Amino acid sequence: MKAFIIDSYNGPLHAAEVPTPTLGPRDVYVKVMAASVNPLDTLVRGGEFKQLLKYSMPLTLGHDVAGVVTDIGSEVTDFAIGDEIYARPRDLRIGTFAEYIAIDHADVALKPTTLSFEEAAAIPLVALAAWQMLVDTAHITPGQKVLVHAGAGGLGSTVIQLAKHLGAHVATTAGTSSLALVKSLGADLVIDYRTTDFADELSGYDLAIDAVGGDNLMKTLTVLAPGGLALGVTGPPDAGFATQLGAPAPFKLVLSLLSRKVRAAAKKRGVRYSFFFMRSNGEQLRELAALYDTGHLRPVIDSTFAFEQTVEALAYVEAGKTKAGKVVITHQ
């Protein structure tokens, strides 16, 4: 089958003929109808997690998929041939930039019936991340205050909507051209980062989600209420990340050192910092599908590329050309 692979870390993405996936007893075999591009694809290609996630080369990239089940493993009882599904395959089993993929059934859910394959493919990673940040980690309740940076992005646009659904007051930062979009998604307070310093305008936030990193993350700590939590998406990673991936103890020490500066700054202010890395979860995708089908959430798509243009799609994201939402690769 045709897939888009890398032969080594930092190597170019290119088309290749690769063996069709092997169907395990717990797997569903999926004909890919659409996939989407995430910054995580760039990080994996660049070897950012190579000490913790031991991928074999050549590696097919791609973390999001929507498609049709064409076969099921001997132990699978919750899916049938012909089902329309969406998923974020678990780490070490990625590879949605391909014609077919085998996915553990626990990572899969029936796609929202109201959405096209292209729309559904834009959802899994960012929706799971938003759910796990807001519900599993921060336990957001009505009236709490949430700040999400880069509100027009794939993650930010999803966090805004879910946080509002949970009853939170939501602030976000965005560029001038995206202000109307993030307001339409439900943001209560929108700050144009090109003209205004968010740290001068905000205070008392219970949760802040930062996908920018660096100085922006350090400044984000200053707008949290006592005991508030900052979640970093781009880093620095901490010992909890190593624990999540089941890494050996030495890696926990290394990551603890990498995040020492921001954790010390957080402690000094009486707030908390944690690195966030989402987990695959088909059950949560089922709950999220219901929210999309009832209109509480909607996907935001920047642009679509044909499957044959997958290299161009990744380059588009890597070049920072995405203006709002996700970039989708379609097989239709």
Q: What is the pLDDT of residues 136-154, one digit of tens each?
A: 999 999 999 999 999 999 9
Choose among 35, 130, 127: nearest CA to 85: 35
Q: Where exactly are the structural domains of the chain? A: 2-123+299-330, 125-275
d(CA 36, CA 56): 22
d(CA 24, CA 6): 24
* Cβ-based neighbours of 83, under 8 Å, separated by 6 or more: 28, 68, 69, 110
d(CA 294, CA 138): 24
Give me the CATH topology for the region 125-275. Rossmann fold (3.40.50)
CATH number of the 2-123+299-330 domain: 3.90.180.10
The predicted pLDDT at position 2 comes to 98
Percent of the chain's residues with pLDDT above 90? 88
The predicted pLDDT at position 65 comes to 98
Structure tokens at 328: 């989708």
pTM for the structure as a whole: 0.96
Binned at pLDDT 50, 70 and 90, residue 52 comes out as confident
The predicted pLDDT at position 21 comes to 96
Sheet (strand 2-6) strand order: 14-17, 2-6, 59-60
Greater pLDDT, 253 or 88:
88
Query: Left (φ > 0), alpha (ψ -120 to 50) or beta: where does 82 sit?
Result: left
The predicted pLDDT at position 303 comes to 98
